Structure 1
Amino acid sequence: MRASRVYLIMMTTLTFANATMFTTYAVYYVNGLGFNPLELLLIGTALELTILVCETPTGVIADTRGRRISVLTGIFVIGLAFILEGSVPYIHLMFGSFTLFAGVMVAEVIRGVGETFISGAGVAWITDEIGDHLIGDLFLKSNQINQVMNLLGIVCSVILSSIALNLPYIIGGMIYLLLVIFLILKMKETNFKKQKSQPSVKHAIQTFRHGVRVIRGSTILLALIGAVLFAGAGSEGYDRLWEAHILTSFQLPEFLELSASVWIGLFSVLATVFSFAAATFARKVIDSSNGQRVVTVLSWLIAGKIIMLMVFALVEKFWFALGSFLVLSMIRTIYYPLYSTWLNQNIPSHSRATILSMVSQFDAFGQTIGGPVVGAIGTRFTIRSSLLAAGVFLLPVLVVYRRAIARKDRLTE
């Protein structure tokens, strides 16, 4: 099986599993487990703090021992973490001292370890297998197909959560474990060169140092890492609180007497439909091999994201909130594959996973520091205030992109 097909199957399966779990996760957290805004952000902080600690070491492992083994390990660990998270209510019944909040925190820490094995490794693997001149189109194609799988996962999530709010997590974790079996059989690694002439520890240190040199030698990449700190705080605030914002800041329409899970599912379904259209349009009109064109589009997208996030935070009418949410979803759908393309086209192959992990590590640091701040604002004032703060945190990212356009240079010169 071709590497590109294996990658598409892997990403669509992960998308389906994630949609199954995360479509109604806020209903599980808020209505099922009774978490407040600060607790929601602290859960995210536990995840991001784990990523912060483990990101670079696991990135070096991927660059020295192999990207395939790193991806397999990560997916397996994450699958176990999700099953544990879905089983927290049962564990709490068996061991009363093991609180619901503590159980979810432990599961998210385990998940964080798994995420660091995947971060950078999967993208580095497919980039080496097919070449960086083809990854832009593949990322956009994957994103396009993912919207269909996301739609199926949303439907599955709503059905499962109507049976039991924790069931999506258990099923999603099982899907992860089944994917590991498929990848063991079909995922090959043909273009990775493991350097056996040096001790693995010494080579790992050299790989890490080279990654640091690449980052220090690029003005734009240094600025991007600084901006990623703020972007992490902004994305954490939105990702963790948009469902809670819908559930607590608005009076849900009463026609058809739909439950909160169904309403969240409908939001996600509409977002998927609009995002599919956006992904299709982007793949047709954006030349992903043109670095300057990509970074220009990224600057417009991040500007639109800031504006729409603030609109989402401020509007009082439910239907206006829905409209701004849909625009945000379309922007995010186009943004992330282009962002990944821009980074990967400008990073040396032999340290790609390490550098990507470093970038992710700064993102995790931003989420670790900024997440509790955004959560505390929401607990002290309102969730609207948290979302406004998240929008402000994204402003430095726009500055970096505009600077990259003005300089007209590559990330690594």
Structure 2
Amino acid sequence: MADELGAPAHRPLWVFLQSGFVWQLCWSSYWTLFFLRVVVDVGLDPLQLLMLGTAKEVTILLAEIPTGVLADLRSRRLSVILSFLICGLAIVGAGLAGSFVALVLTQVLWAFGSTFRSGAEVAWFTDEVGSLEVVDAVLPRRARFEAVGSIVGLTATALLAAATSLSTALVVVGVVLLGWAVVLKLRMPETGFQRHAASANSRFRQLLREGFDAASRPGLRVLLVVTVATGFASEAVDRLSVARLDQIGLQDTIDPALLIGGASVMQSLGVIVLLFIVGRRLAGPRLVSAMVALNALTAIGVGVLAQGGLLAIALIGMVTQGTARSIARTVTVAWTNHFTDRSNRATVHSFVGQAQSLGEISGGIGLGIVAQQIGISTALTISAVIYLLASGWSRRGHTRWPKPVLVHS
């Protein structure tokens, strides 16, 4: 790998790793602070919490493929920079918004911005280094950088929020993301991307066809089903975890920002440890086994969060599921990358992102009604069962992995 990452690829490698660090620093801080703010400061009910997620995912569903095709058609570098810029503005808005409608608008803006980065960043890096094997090796390394970014961000913003306010901490996180967009404008190269001579309209249609063709491959179909299912289940976990902790005494302990921040730091440490142990094995067909195990572990964690009657037990469940899901995201990216080629990488990644959004929209509505009418614990228990079913379905990938791998660099 050292030879493959010589001088031409060295700069893209470090831009890729550092961007992962900064994105995760801001992303994990944003969501932790945001959910604390809407539960503790604004006081949204469970259905409103899930409607925030539904608004976000509807936006992603509508924007994912057009922005993915745009990245393949025009510039993946430009797409990544736009993503950091738009998402930074959304986080600043989330820190300033005070009404439910305003908070929904910040979620829509965040979702729109995130679709520019979805797939484009990995597609950019794959083209710059020109080797799928190198990308497979680097993705776990980047995930470790992301985990460290989470620890740094959560620690700093938890202390900042405790000293000032949740709103102030959110605004600072947004400014950091905006600053990194400027850094990328100055430092991010793009030498491996090839523009096509065909007209924009004809190339757009061609990329859509290629995306649908890739999605029809048996191995990717398995992943798409798993992604829809886990997306459905994850929406309740993402939106209701803090509300569940609040039910069993979150605000009766130390400052909630410090407690949730500490739990999230433990989650990131778990990611680092697990990736140190298994990171080099996350390649090729072994990605399937990893997905099976990670979804099963997520099911256990969500079940403990749902049924744990003590705050400490529920926190263990939250950390467990969060650790497993963080690594599963890396596995999903690597799995998807095995079913792309140079011309359509961002588009195919966008198809997978759209599958997740479809699941999350359905989960936001369905599990939101369950949480509102029956209870948060019941909604989370249903999510745990769905993760377990997704683990079983993931096994089908063993018999549907391409031989040889269908990738052209």
TM-score by structure 2 length?
A: 0.91
Residue number among 72, 82, 85 corresponding to 1:76 in the alignment: 85
- Helix, strand or coil for the counterpart of 1:190? coil
Moved more, 133-142 or 20-29: 20-29
Instruction: Please list the CA deviations of residues 110-134 of structure 1 after superposition, one character each: whole Å capped at 9, or x if unmatched.
Output: 1111111111101111111122111
**Cα distance in 2 for residues equivalent to 1:409 and 1:207:** 21
Task: Give the corresponding residue for 1:239.
Answer: 238
Instruction: Please list the CA deviations of residues 236-259 of structure 1 after superposition, one character each: whole Å capped at 9, or x if unmatched.
Output: 1111111221121x23596xx512
Q: 1:275 aligned to 2:275?
A: no
On the 8 A contact 1:136/1:338 being kept in 2, the answer is no
Judging changes above 3 Å, is the alpha-carbon distance between structure 1 residues 178 and 252 closer, same or farther for their aligned structure 2 residues? Answer: closer
The Cα shift of 1:374 comes to 1.2
Task: Give the corresponding residue for 2:174.
Answer: 173
Moved more, 141-150 or 118-127: 141-150
The Cα shift of 1:407 comes to 4.2
Instruction: Please list the CA deviations of residues 60-101 of structure 1 after superposition, one character each: whole Å capped at 9, or x if unmatched.
Output: 101111111111111111111111121113xxxxxxxxxx00
**Cα distance in 2 for residues equivalent to 1:78 and 1:253:** 29
Residue number among 359, 384, 401 corresponding to 1:391 in the alignment: 384
The Cα shift of 1:395 comes to 4.1
Judging changes above 3 Å, is the alpha-carbon distance between structure 1 residues 253 and 70 closer, same or farther for their aligned structure 2 residues? Answer: closer
Task: Give the corresponding residue for 1:327.
Answer: 320
User: Structure 2 matches for 1:98-113, cutoff 5 A?
Assistant: 100-113=99-112
**Cα distance in 1 for residues equivalent to 2:112 and 2:102:** 16
The Cα shift of 1:45 comes to 0.5
Q: Greater RCO between the two (CA within 8 Å, min separation 6)?
A: 1
On the 8 A contact 1:30/1:244 being kept in 2, the answer is yes
Residue number among 45, 48, 60 corresponding to 1:51 in the alignment: 60
Judging changes above 3 Å, is the alpha-carbon distance between structure 1 residues 57 and 401 closer, same or farther for their aligned structure 2 residues? Answer: same
Task: Give the corresponding residue for 1:92.
Answer: none
**Cα distance in 2 for residues equivalent to 1:34 and 1:310:** 25
On the 8 A contact 1:247/1:260 being kept in 2, the answer is no
Kindly report the root-mean-square deviation, in angstroms, between the aligned alpha carbons of the 2 structures.
1.9
Instruction: Please list the CA deviations of residues 251-292 of structure 1 after superposition, one character each: whole Å capped at 9, or x if unmatched.
Output: 3596xx512222212212222222222222222xx4233x22
Task: Give the corresponding residue for 1:370.
Answer: 363
Judging changes above 3 Å, is the alpha-carbon distance between structure 1 residues 345 and 224 closer, same or farther for their aligned structure 2 residues? Answer: closer
* Structure 1 unaligned spans of 5+: 90-99
The Cα shift of 1:179 comes to 0.6
One-letter amino acid of the counterpart of residue 116, structure 1: T
Q: 1:200 aligned to 2:200?
A: yes
On the 8 A contact 1:83/1:174 being kept in 2, the answer is yes
**Cα distance in 2 for residues equivalent to 1:64 and 1:84:** 30
Task: Give the corresponding residue for 1:36.
Answer: 45
* Structure 2 unaligned spans of 5+: 1-9
Instruction: Please list the CA deviations of residues 126-171 of structure 1 after superposition, one character each: whole Å capped at 9, or x if unmatched.
Output: 1111221111221111111222221111122212222112112211
On the 8 A contact 1:19/1:157 being kept in 2, the answer is no
- Helix, strand or coil for the counterpart of 2:258? helix
Residue number among 244, 251, 254 corresponding to 2:249 in the alignment: 251
Identity score, percent? 27
Task: Give the corresponding residue for 2:258.
Answer: 262
Instruction: Please list the CA deviations of residues 342-364 of structure 1 after superposition, one character each: whole Å capped at 9, or x if unmatched.
Output: 21123222111111101111211
Instruction: Please list the CA deviations of residues 284-319 of structure 1 after superposition, one character each: whole Å capped at 9, or x if unmatched.
Output: xx4233x22221122122122223321221122233
One-letter amino acid of the counterpart of residue 20, structure 1: S
- Helix, strand or coil for the counterpart of 2:133? coil
Task: Give the corresponding residue for 1:220.
Answer: 219
**Cα distance in 2 for residues equivalent to 1:308 and 1:18:** 21
**Cα distance in 1 for residues equivalent to 2:223 and 2:140:** 22
On the 8 A contact 1:136/1:288 being kept in 2, the answer is yes
- Helix, strand or coil for the counterpart of 1:237? helix
Residue number among 282, 293, 318 corresponding to 1:288 in the alignment: 282
Judging changes above 3 Å, is the alpha-carbon distance between structure 1 residues 408 and 364 closer, same or farther for their aligned structure 2 residues? Answer: closer
Task: Give the corresponding residue for 1:302.
Answer: 295
Judging changes above 3 Å, is the alpha-carbon distance between structure 1 residues 374 and 207 closer, same or farther for their aligned structure 2 residues? Answer: same
Q: 1:60 aligned to 2:69?
A: yes
One-letter amino acid of the counterpart of residue 287, structure 1: R
Structure 1 residue ranges (4+ consecutive) displaced by more than 6 angstroms after TM superposition: none
One-letter amino acid of the counterpart of residue 262, structure 1: L
Q: 1:86 aligned to 2:82?
A: no
Task: Give the corresponding residue for 1:209.
Answer: 209
